[in-house]
Amino acid sequence: MEFEEKFQPINKPIMVLGTSSGAGKSLTVTAICRILKNLGEEPIPYKGQNMSNNAWVDWNGGEMAYSQALQAFACGINPSSEMNPILLKPQGNSTSEVIHLGKSIGTTTAKNYYKDWFFPGWEVIKKSLKSIYKRNPNCRLIIEGAGSPVEMNLIHRDLTNLRVAKYLNANCILVTDIERGGVFAQIIGTLELMKPEEKKLIKGIIINRFRGDLSLFEEGKKWIENKTQIPVIGIIPWLNDSFPPEDSLDLLERKITVTNPDIKVGIIKLPSISNFSDFDPLENEETILIEWIRESQNLSKYDFIILPGSKQTIKDQIFLENTGLSQNIREYSNNKGNIIGICGGLQMLGTTLEDPYFKEGSKNYCEQKIKGIGLLPLKTTFFEKKLTRQINSESIWPCQTEINGFEIHNGQTVLDDIQSSLKIKPIFKDLDLGWYKENNKGGSIAGTYIHGIFENDIWRDQYINLIRKSKNLPISNKKSISYKKKRESIIENLANVFHKHLNLKSFLS
């Protein structure tokens, strides 16, 4: 497919490519977005195609990757699915849900993706770019690549790296991660595999995650510049502030930083976990330690348990039963335990799960109706049409306060019998957004469809105080730092570090 047309934006886009996955493209784009915003420019983040189950819903109900939403926050603008026109959401067995411009349009196998979806994908990328520039003619796109731009078995069908770079004639930055070692080979190898017209687009190189004295890399910097004739525009030191990982496997690499915590939280590490950024606000609480639970165990050491969202709820519920974790959770509940489920986690806490359209993993097991954990008297049926929307509501429990968040789910959950209303109460004034039940012996079981529930500072503080009370700890009257303000602070600090060590002058002409 030749590039028969090119875009000529007023302000030349900057594209961040990487020598590998995990090189630091996402954080680099986030930092550049905030740097340019602070310089008075109009940056807009963009990633043509992303693969992630960590999603966000924009104000039109469109799904997009959370990383592009975070980058939009760095720009000081509302996220839009046009910033991530193709989102692939893995659902196991080498299949993914395909989302174009925020809307689910089908599923694909990895084997058939490029055959069936390449040309429609390229058209939707061009459509999104035209729409962005039509509304924001003076913007500067800050574009994130995906993985490596020179995967030779895929490069002829690569939608989101060099194809976009050439279409927009973008100024490209190549990022490499020195922490992993082998940066010289990564840089030279990546550039050698590019065509001459592609290599010409690379205007700068960033060495990321450097530990120690930056001056020690001066000889290495000179060697790279002499060999490639491309300037090294930045050597970025190792950063302490953490950001949401792009891949849920990175959760296992997070380092425990809390010492002497008041509260210990266990989060069930589901095989098909989704929207794990829901828990970032808890990680910013100084008194809370989070641990991820992957196998059957006595859960009594935890002060509360979280069942997170799931891309394949039936599949994950079967995992919980087969591993014994369902029984562990029931025993924990009987022992005054506190449990909260979010989206798929809410559904699993109910009595039954029915999947007539094979939307949630039942096809893999030939079981379209299964039992849930059974701690909340709720039944869920998964329908073909997905509900995606922003939420503005008001909570009733554990306090009355305004609530913001979003929904992404196929399931519809209702009370499973007439007597259920005597055992379970709504969490919100919108009655279908969540329920809770207090155990006779103490503790509570709660479930909500709202992603981002813990970003609501007053609600989070009151829920944590419930836990503190159950532990006979003093109620905390100290208002916690607003999570959104904390996120802003982290983005600003990130931008300051990058600005100090990164020379972007030649990219802004």
| Mean pLDDT over each residue of the chain, to the nearest integer | 92
As to burial, measured by CB atoms within 10 angstroms (0-12 exposed, 13-18 middle, 19+ buried), residue 396 is middle
Mean pLDDT of 177-188: 94
| 155 φ/ψ angles, rounded to the nearest 5 degrees | -60, -30
Map tokens 């806490």 to a residue. Answer: 349
Does the pTM of the predicted model rise above 0.85? yes
- pLDDT band, residue 144 (cuts 50/70/90): very high
Report the length, in residues, of the chain: 509
| 342 φ/ψ angles, rounded to the nearest 5 degrees | -120, 125
Region class of 98: left (phi > 0), else alpha (psi between -120 and 50), else beta: beta
- pLDDT band, residue 481 (cuts 50/70/90): confident
pLDDT at 387: 96
Q: Are 431 and 479 in contact (CB under 8 A)?
A: no
- Catalytic residue at 139? no
| Residues 263, 65: Cα–Cα separation, whole Å | 31
The residue from 75, 343, 366, 399 that is catalytic is 343
Mean pLDDT of 450-474: 94
pLDDT at 159: 94
pLDDT single digits (tens) 386-425: 999 999 999 999 999 999 999 999 999 999 876 666 689 9
pLDDT single digits (tens) 428-461: 999 999 999 998 788 999 999 999 999 999 999 9
| Domains defined for the chain, CATH in brackets | 14-238 (3.40.50.300), 248-483 (3.40.50.880)
Q: Report the share of the chain in percent with pLDDT over 70.
A: 93
- Catalytic residue at 156? no
| 122 φ/ψ angles, rounded to the nearest 5 degrees | -65, -35
Say whether pLDDT at 471 is over 80.
yes
- pLDDT band, residue 245 (cuts 50/70/90): low
Q: Which uninterrupted H or E stretch holds 86?
A: strand 86-90
pLDDT at 333: 95
Mean pLDDT of 214-225: 95
| 156 φ/ψ angles, rounded to the nearest 5 degrees | -70, -10
Identify whether 356 is preceded by a cis peptide bond (ω within 30 of 0).
Answer: no
DSSP-assigned beta bridge partners for residue 141: 44
pLDDT at 203: 97
Say whether pLDDT at 344 is over 50.
yes
The residue from 33, 451, 499, 501 that is catalytic is 451
Mean pLDDT of 220-230: 98
Q: Are 243 and 276 in contact (CB under 8 A)?
A: no
Structure token digits, residue 280 = 């970032």
Mean pLDDT of 454-481: 89
| Residues 10, 77: Cα–Cα separation, whole Å | 20
As to burial, measured by CB atoms within 10 angstroms (0-12 exposed, 13-18 middle, 19+ buried), residue 418 is exposed
Mean pLDDT of 100-126: 95
pLDDT single digits (tens) 353-380: 999 988 887 677 667 899 999 999 999 9
Q: Is the dihedral of CA 350, 285, 70, 67 positive or negative?
A: negative
DSSP 328-372: HHHHHHHTT--EEEETHHHHHHSSEEE-TT--SSGGGTT-SEEE-
